[in-house]
């Protein structure tokens, strides 16, 4: 299967990701990336969590293969149990980008160190599951 997209975004190289800093003691920060960068990160590593923060109904309509569903309103109550590794690479998306930004920021606030928000599935030019 071949995927193609037209964009000016530069792919993110997993080895060359800059460490995020909130302050001198923290290692977690909110990071916004493009769909193309998220896709490249997924190609570069098998060690990531693809997190869909939409509703169950939206997830059933269409989602990205391999995604874990935790609706944004349930992040606070479910993340610790379902995302136990706070150093895991977590790629977050929703429908259009609002809920993913909120959820990514909430995860960072909970101490997750490698959270990347790539916005909405509406901007995902690659294959999805229906």
Domain ranges, residue 73: 29-123
Residue 1 in any domain: the answer is no
Selecting among 79, 94, 107, 108, the annotated active-site residue is 94
Band (111; pLDDT cuts 50, 70, 90): very high
For the stretch 14-47, pLDDT in tens is: 343 433 433 333 466 789 999 999 999 999 999 9
CATH number assigned to the domain comprising residue 79: 3.40.250.10
Question: What is the Cα Rg of the chain in Å?
Answer: 14
**Which of 23, 54, 42, 6 is closest to 116 using CA atoms?**
42
Residue 113 in any domain: the answer is yes
User: CA-CA-CA-CA torsion for 80, 84, 86, 91, nearest 10 degrees?
Assistant: -90
Q: Which two tokens stand for residue 35?
A: 């769909």
Which pLDDT value is given to residue 6?
A: 36
Give the total number of structural domains in the chain.
Answer: 1
6 is catalytic: no
Residue 130 in any domain: the answer is no
3-state helix, strand, coil in the chain (%, to 5): 35, 20, 50
């Amino acid at each position: 299967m071949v995927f193609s997209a037209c964009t000016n975004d530069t792919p993110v190289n997993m080895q060359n990701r800059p460490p995020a800093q909130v302050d001198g003691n923290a290692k977690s920060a909110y990071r916004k990336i493009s769909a193309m960068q998220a896709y490249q990160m997924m190609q570069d590593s098998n060690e990531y969590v693809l997190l869909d923060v939409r509703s169950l109904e939206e997830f059933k309509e269409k989602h990205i293969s391999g995604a874990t569903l935790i609706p944004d309103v349930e992040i606070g109550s479910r993340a610790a149990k379902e995302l136990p590794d706070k150093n895991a690479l977590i790629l977050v998306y929703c429908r259009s980008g609002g809920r993913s930004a909120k959820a990514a920021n909430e995860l960072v606030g909970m101490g997750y160190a490698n959270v990347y928000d790539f916005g909405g599935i509406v901007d995902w030019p690659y294959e999805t599951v229906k």
